[in-house]
Structure 1
Amino acid sequence: MQDQEEVKKNDASLKNKAEDNYIDNWIKESLWNDVFYRYLTWLIITLISYSIIHGIRDFSTLSYFSGYVKNTLSILNFIVPLNIFIMFIAITFKDMEAREVEAWTQKRWWGILGAILRKINCETLLFTSGISFSFTIIVILSALDIVTNPPNVSIHSALTIFFFCLFISAISFIHAFLYVICKRERETIFCSLIKKNMLIPMIYTLISLVAFGYIYIGF
């Protein structure tokens, strides 16, 4: 009877199991494979979306560009400090679990809380990385369209656009790097700089509070 029940449970679980394919297996080999796959996906979706919008009758590149930049920068201004705030709380659990396995294990409720926070943080880091990367692509495409019709852009404007894209790209790549740090199994690189275990929560909490103050207080 027990064998039959186990077989039924296995059959039921297999019905909802994801398929095993080459792409998923390749992504699971390395977190950098995961990041590369996501960047490729974001690039394709952004190019297709921009092509569709650009093909609409009476489409104004300048109006679209102005509105898109304003809205996206508002999101980034809020979510970047928020990511720092959440991340240092999340990796407090991660690094303390690596240093003191028994006390911070995920078998305890605070260990489970840390795992949930890390999962949320990974998603917000990926979201920020993706929106920053897509933002860079949109800025480049819109700028090219604006400056070539008619081609009357100054060198100063071109340099401004270039460094602006460079800055937003840096935000994207830094968040992707932080995603890998937060997601991988071993302790973070920040932990290696702190020798005493008791200082880890104190330093990380201080950084989180500074980020929190930047978001809601503005200092």
Structure 2
Amino acid sequence: MQITFDRAEVRFGAHVALQPLDLALEEHRIGVIGLNGSGKTTFARLINGLVKPSAGRVTLDGLDTVKDEKAVLSKTGFIFQNPANQIILPIIRDDIAFGPKSRGIKGEALTQAVDGVLTQLGITHLADRRPHELSGGELQLAALAAVIVTGPDIVIFDEPTNQLDLRNRAMVQAAIDALPQQAIIISHDLDLVSGYGRVLVFHQGRLAFDGGPQDAIARYRKLALP
């Protein structure tokens, strides 16, 4: 899927959160790095329409994130920095089933959809657990299951390895690497994005670098540690 930014910018009153951006993205894995407040999350939320451009436009394979909002939402999934905030039901299986059920899927088809995504992510043992019983990595995978069960084309992750220990980080990284969907990963974890095909560096509300991971990380280090 091609994601296109056409002079897209975001302002909140007098504050410019993201300066005008012209960009086309189609790589399978795209990393997004930068200091806190640099515009990373604003950029990512433009893609699924959670943030609307103040000027310009953003399209996904020609679908406008403003004019075609419903269609864009059906093609994108977003995993928040704290995945516990998006798990809304007390049992993991029920939470995963919520999305497809709301789209009219029921009975055996619903059971197969939920079981399929649990198996895909290797978390069948979590199906009947409660969110507060899960580790940080398990919460990430449970939230991911609830997103991909609806069949998005793009999955956006906001700091997926934040505050995870080595085992949980490895578990989440393996799940991201195995996804067939296109994925955009916002992260301070430079090792996580080091193998991606393209990495964007944001700084003070603008795109400061766009290229391969080694050069992007080097550029980020110069901006962060002048």
Structure (1/2) with the larger helix percentage: 1
Q: Structure 2 length as normaliser, TM-score?
A: 0.22
